């Protein structure tokens, strides 16, 4: 069947490593298939992806999930992904992997988890717990990759996250009964060390089955706020993982810190009053210290902004941290509280030297030191609560790509393509964030 073959990208990287040639940086493009269900003017499907895929080395399709009872891999949106789909002929899985005919350089992966698999998230630890459940998952995920023509799998495993201050670990939906079986007690994962070993065992097994099926690429995505020390044994994983995507966004977001609007993805820690771990450099340094291979570490940045409602006018310059009143209202197209896609932000920006004269505008404030990132805001006024936004834009994405390049890391990932300006709504230029990254790599 078509598509079941080692990908060109794998051969290329292998060769470059052997020859010790200047490294080719990976540009890992995540694509959430649900973007196909958005309104027509912003909808992103295969036709909208095609014009930019030469700029990606990897296309990561999100997200598949796990069946809690059977520990098998499953589509989270069968009506979109699978042949039964009425929206995409043959289903989106097939339609995405068929892009390989036109873009043979692309490594196309199916991602599992990614914080998109909300139902009983504790099943991710449950699956690790037993050899039986690991084998079930490994064999079914690999069958899925093979059946639909993916080049491999991305494991965006949903480990418990470190919470802001007080509580140590938690899941919003944790239930005590289940907690007992997986080793979660009082919001603390009491079997952390076992889960770390078991994750390595799972990765080894998944890689083995993928190899046998000729769709052998395996990447691991490390989600925001997961304790890397607790769960990732990089020396143990080394042989099986082709690259890692270390998500370095959402250090602060309106759900974790509703009362304080702040930079979501600062490059470095510069204030004494912030949490020392909540910046890119700290997380990158920690990961290197734990033994990740430098050239396999891809940094994942967001193409969406994080938004807070403002509480009162505390500072007319909008300089964070600002007192806030929780997540700002959902955007017209993405319909998600506390979040706006880049294309929902950029058409509304005015430079900070100009007055904000309407309720659709935001004043843009780039950071001249290139450390903290860009923010935009509109102060509260009468009935308007005002809004504060921390976001990535072409300029800041380029800075992050430069950081990757000058440190010889593995590349940069965008989460995701559909929230970059895929339609050119800002000024006609499509995918400005991705293009800015490509000027560096």
Q: Give the shortest CB-279-to-ligand NAG separation in angstroms.
A: 6
Of the pair 120, 286, the CB lying nearest ligand NAG is at: 286
Residue 325 contacts residue 308 (beta carbons within 8 Å): yes
**DSSP structure class, residue 126:** H
Q: Can residue 211 be called a binding residue for ligand NAG (CB under 6 A)?
A: no
Selection from 281, 249, 253 nearest residue 268 by Cα: 281
Q: Can residue 15 be called a binding residue for ligand NAG (CB under 6 A)?
A: no
Q: Site mask, ligand NAG, residues 269-298, x = CB under 6 A? A: x-----------xx--x-------------
Q: Give the shortest CB-230-to-ligand NAG separation in angstroms.
A: 4
Distance CA 109, CA 77 (A): 17
Q: Give the shortest CB-280-to-ligand NAG separation in angstroms.
A: 8
Q: Give the shortest CB-296-to-ligand NAG separation in angstroms.
A: 18
**Of the candidates 187, 213, 314, 402, which one interacts with ligand NAG according to CB under 6 A?**
213
Nearest 5 degrees, angle CA 391-CA 353-CA 324? 45
Phi, psi (rounded to 5 degrees) for 344:
-90, -10
Give me Rg for the CA atoms of the chain.
21
Q: Can residue 51 be called a binding residue for ligand NAG (CB under 6 A)?
A: yes
**Of the candidates 201, 230, 260, 361, which one interacts with ligand NAG according to CB under 6 A?**
230
**Of the candidates 229, 317, 332, 408, which one interacts with ligand NAG according to CB under 6 A?**
229
Of the pair 158, 334, the CB lying nearest ligand NAG is at: 158
Piece of the chain touching ligand NAG by CB under 6 A; list 49-57, 86-94, 125-133, 383-391:
49-57
HEC-encoded secondary structure of 215-283: CCEEEEEECCCECHHHHCCHHHHCCCCCEEEEECCCCCCCCCCCCEECCCCCCCCCCCCCCCCCCHHHH
Backbone CA torsion sign across 119, 240, 129, 182: negative
Of the pair 117, 151, the CB lying nearest ligand NAG is at: 151
Distance CA 351, CA 360 (A): 14
Distance CA 287, CA 360 (A): 40
Of the pair 297, 379, the CB lying nearest ligand NAG is at: 297
Bridge partners for 244 per DSSP: 220, 297
Bridge partners for 400 per DSSP: none
Q: Give the shortest CB-23-to-ligand NAG separation in angstroms.
A: 15
**Of the candidates 163, 187, 214, 402, which one interacts with ligand NAG according to CB under 6 A?**
214
Piece of the chain touching ligand NAG by CB under 6 A; list 74-82, 223-231, 295-303, 414-422:
223-231
Q: How many alpha carbons fall within 13 Å on the CB side of residue 213?
A: 28
CB-based contacts of 104: which residues, under 8 Å, 6+ apart?
Answer: 8
Q: Can residue 429 be called a binding residue for ligand NAG (CB under 6 A)?
A: no
Of the pair 124, 388, the CB lying nearest ligand NAG is at: 124
Q: Give the shortest CB-141-to-ligand NAG separation in angstroms.
A: 16
In 287-385, beta strands by DSSP E: 297-302, 304-310, 322-327, 339-341, 349-351, 362-365, 374-378
Q: Measured in Å, how far apart are the chain's first and last C-alpha atoms?
A: 34
User: Torsion angle of alpha carbons 187, 192, 196, 201, nearest 10°?
Assistant: -90
Q: Site mask, ligand NAG, residues 150-189, x = CB under 6 A? A: ------------x-----x---------------------
Piece of the chain touching ligand NAG by CB under 6 A; list 38-46, 227-235, 252-260, 352-360:
227-235
Token digits of residue 431: 């995918």
Q: Give the shortest CB-384-to-ligand NAG separation in angstroms.
A: 37
Token digits of residue 3: 């598509």
Q: Can residue 54 be called a binding residue for ligand NAG (CB under 6 A)?
A: yes
Q: Can residue 438 be called a binding residue for ligand NAG (CB under 6 A)?
A: yes
Of the pair 133, 227, the CB lying nearest ligand NAG is at: 227
**Of the candidates 4, 12, 147, 361, which one interacts with ligand NAG according to CB under 6 A?**
4
Distance CA 81, CA 299 (A): 27
Q: Give the shortest CB-346-to-ligand NAG separation in angstroms.
A: 19
Q: Can residue 192 be called a binding residue for ligand NAG (CB under 6 A)?
A: yes
Q: How many positions of this chain bind ligand NAG (CB under 6 A)?
A: 19
Phi, psi (rounded to 5 degrees) for 203:
-60, -40
Helix, coil or strand: residue 273: coil
Distance CA 351, CA 354 (A): 6
**Of the candidates 268, 270, 290, 359, which one interacts with ligand NAG according to CB under 6 A?**
268
Selection from 89, 77, 166, 164 nearest residue 114 by Cα: 77
Of the pair 255, 282, the CB lying nearest ligand NAG is at: 282
Where does this chain bind ligand NAG (CB under 6 A)?
A: 4, 51-52, 54-55, 162, 168, 192, 213-214, 227, 229-230, 268-269, 281-282, 285, 438
């Amino acid at each position: 069947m078509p598509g079941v073959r080692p990908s060109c990208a794998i051969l290329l990287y292998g060769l470059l490593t052997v020859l010790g040639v200047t490294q080719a940086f990976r540009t890992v493009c995540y694509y959430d298939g649900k973007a196909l269900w958005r309104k027509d003017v912003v909808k992103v499907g295969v036709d909208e992806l095609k014009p930019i895929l030469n700029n990606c080395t990897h296309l990561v399709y999100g997200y598949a999930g796990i069946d809690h009872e059977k520990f098998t891999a499953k589509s989270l949106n069968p009506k979109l992904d699978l042949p039964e789909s009425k929206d995409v002929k043959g289903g989106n899985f097939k339609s995405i992997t068929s892009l390989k005919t036109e873009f043979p350089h692309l490594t196309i992966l199916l991602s599992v988890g990614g914080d998109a698999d909300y139902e009983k998230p504790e099943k991710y630890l449950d699956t690790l717990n037993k050899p039986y459940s690991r084998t079930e998952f490994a064999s079914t995920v690999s069958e899925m990759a093979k059946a639909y023509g993916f080049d491999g799998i991305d494991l965006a495993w949903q480990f418990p996250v470190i919470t802001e201050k007080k509580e140590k670990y938690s899941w919003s939906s944790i239930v005590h009964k289940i907690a007992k079986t997986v080793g979660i007690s009082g919001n603390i994962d009491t079997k952390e060390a076992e889960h770390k070993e078991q994750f390595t065992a799972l990765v080894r097994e998944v890689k083995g089955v993928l190899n046998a099926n000729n769709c052998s690429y395996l990447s691991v995505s490390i989600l925001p706020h997961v304790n890397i020390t607790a769960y990732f044994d990089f020396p143990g994983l080394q042989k099986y993982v082709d690259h890692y995507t270390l998500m370095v966004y959402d250090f602060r977001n309106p759900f974790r810190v509703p009362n304080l609007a702040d930079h979501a993805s600062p490059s470095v820690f510069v204030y004494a009053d912030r949490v020392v771990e909540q910046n890119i450099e700290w997380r990158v340094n920690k990961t290197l210290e734990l033994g990740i291979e430098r050239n396999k570490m891809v940094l994942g940045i967001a193409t969406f902004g994080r938004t807070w409602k403002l509480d009162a006018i505390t500072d007319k310059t909008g300089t964070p941290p600002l007192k806030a009143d929780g997540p700002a209202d959902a955007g017209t197209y993405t319909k998600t509280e506390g979040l706006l896609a880049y294309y929902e932000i950029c058409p509304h920006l005015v430079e900070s030297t100009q007055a904000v004269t309407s309720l659709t505008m935001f004043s843009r404030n780039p950071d001249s030191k290139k450390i903290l990132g860009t923010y935009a805001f509109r102060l509260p006024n009468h009935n308007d609560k005002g809004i504060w936004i921390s976001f990535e834009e072409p300029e800041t994405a380029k800075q992050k790509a430069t950081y990757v390049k000058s440190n010889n890391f593995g590349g940069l990932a965008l989460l995701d393509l559909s929230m970059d300006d895929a339609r050119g709504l800002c000024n006609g230029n499509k995918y400005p964030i991705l293009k800015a990254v490509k000027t560096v790599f």
